[in-house]
Amino acid sequence: MSGAIFVAAVLAWRNADESLTLVASLLITGALVFTSGSALYSGIYKKPLGPAFFYTQSLFDLLVVTTIVHVTGSGTSQFAALYILVIAAASLLLPYAGGLLIAALGCVLYFADVILTPGTPLELGVWLQLGVFSAVALGSGYIAARLRQAGAGTEQLVAELVKVRLQAADILKNIRSGIVTVDASGGLVYANPAASQLLGIPLDDHLGSRVIETISGAAPELARALGRAARDGTRTSRAEGTITVRDRRFPIGLNTTSSEGDGGATTATATAIFQDISDQKRLDTLNARAKKQFSKSFAELDNTQADAVIRPLLAPVPWAYDLPKDPAMRFLAEAHRDIRTATQNSREWAAAGATSGRRGGAFGGGGGGSYINPIDPIYKG
């Protein structure tokens, strides 16, 4: 706009008033210098744009518009509507009070230009223009305030989503259950560290590639359930399978689920969640024997009944540290050792041994505080 005013002044240079040509020249010079400085500050040097920058820009825009209005007829100028653009932009870029300040300053400049320009009548149109400026300032400020509230809410929501995502990632990384997600073609989308540990496969190295066959070598039931979920969305609930890793074989419990996607950016996926249930199986064995012998769970048995259930599974071994390699045998041996050790090392046991004259409890009849650990039994079957 400044350039257009300057070109118009040049074309009518001989017939134009000297003061107007001077104003037009200063206008184009100031606009070029200020615009170049703003471009360097924001575009070249990448400086942050704060309120001071926007206030300065808005004030300069008001001066440019006032100059244009002045050289094109003041109160009768068709360019007075440019004040509306400046006020609207200031309302969006500045705080609500800042937008009202720029609007008030625009009204003052326009009104002062109309009054101070000789021969310019103060007609109804001038007052209407001032009313329009004020209405635009109020309306734009209200809209800008609502947009800022919406933006603040969106930023808060994004921050909360990021926080939840980080928490979920931390949980998935540290839980003991394995989690594997594949797409419809069987390509690996996600696997947590527990999945790689349980399967004995570095699944992170297979991201994006098909892994159903790779998983099948270690856990065939898991691979079949995951393949069904990926192909046709068939879900598996509370199923069991086995994982074979080198010389170790253990049972797992598994569940699968699937998502259909939206046909666009989000594709269909299937997820399997599985965990080692060796300990649960061992406890189920004890519960089954307790139910068969005493018609109640192992946890409900008294000491005599529990001993009757466990003793047939135990046999003495020649040395306390000669524990078996089989997981089930080791589990029972270690549990029994912990219980016996805690009992033998208690003051009550030592006192009872001293009273009854029992040997093998504590050295010197139970008063020395040094205790003998019994030979551990192990699981026979």
Identify the domain containing residue 132 by its residue range.
49-153
Domain end residue (candidates: 224, 243, 276): 276
Selected residue with higher pLDDT from 215 and 29? 215
Q: What is the mean pLDDT of residues 370-381?
A: 46
Q: What is the mean pLDDT of residues 156-178?
A: 74
Residues 124-162 have pLDDT tens digits of 777 777 787 778 777 777 777 777 677 666 767 777 777
Domain end residue (candidates: 210, 242, 276): 276
Answer yes or no: is 31 within a domain.
no
The predicted structure's pLDDT at residue 373: 46
Nearest CA-CA partner of 277 in 234, 204, 221: 221
Q: pLDDT grade, residue 167 (50/70/90)?
A: low
Same domain, 262 and 339: no
Q: pLDDT grade, residue 259 (50/70/90)?
A: confident
Selected residue with higher pLDDT from 324 and 213? 213
Percent of the chain with pLDDT strictly greater than 90: 10
β-pairing verdict for 314-316 and 377-379: antiparallel
Name the domain count of the chain. Answer: 3
Q: Is the pLDDT of residue 255 over 90?
A: yes
Average model confidence (pLDDT) for the chain? 77
Residues 300-313 have pLDDT tens digits of 888 888 888 877 76
Q: Tell me the pTM.
A: 0.45
Answer yes or no: is 68 within a domain.
yes
Same domain, 289 and 266: no
Answer yes or no: is 128 within a domain.
yes
Q: What is the mean pLDDT of residues 292-301?
A: 87
Answer yes or no: is 5 within a domain.
no
